[in-house]
Amino acid sequence: MNYGETASLLKIIADPSRLEILDLLSCDELCGCDLLEYFKFSQPTLSHHMKVLVNSDFVTKRKDGNKVMYELNHETMSKIENQLQIINSSSEYCACQAMKKGIC
C-alpha cells in the first residue's frame, strides 16, 4: 500500500460517524436497521455512509431476506494498521531507508 492509497483510506474513516460505524461492526455483523436505529440517521444518510465504507472495502454486505447485513472487513483494517505501524517505526520499508543523509 502506498502513501496515496493510505491517505485515501484514512480520509474515508476520518468522518466520525464512519469511524463509529466501524467500531460498532468490530463486535459483530449488524443489520442496517440496527445501525439506523442507533444513529438516528435518515435512511439516505446511512446509505451514503455504508456505500462509501463498502466501496472502499472497509465493510462487506450481504442480503439476508429483506435485511442487509454489514460486517467489518478485518483484512482492510489490518492493511491500514500495518501501514501506520511502518510509519510509526524504523523498518526496512520505512521511507527514511531510501533517503540520503548528511548531504547538507
For 49, the grid coordinates are 455512509
Q: Please give the pLDDT value at position 96.
A: 67
Distance CA 30, CA 71 (A): 7
- Read off the pTM: 0.84
Identify the pLDDT of residue 1: 79
Query: Are the C-beta atoms of residues 36 and 44 closer than 8 Å to each other?
Result: no
pLDDT at 75 over 70: yes
All domains in the chain, ordered by first residue: 3-88 (1.10.10.10)
Q: What is the pLDDT of residue 28?
A: 94
Q: What's residue 49's pLDDT?
A: 98
What mean pLDDT is predicted for residues 66-93? 89
Q: Contact 41/87 with Cβ under 8 angstroms?
A: no
Say whether pLDDT at 21 is over 90: yes
For 33, residues 6+ apart whose C-beta sits below 8 A from its C-beta are 67
Q: Are 77 and 71 in contact (CB under 8 A)?
A: no
In this structure, what C-alpha cell is assigned to residue 26?
468490530
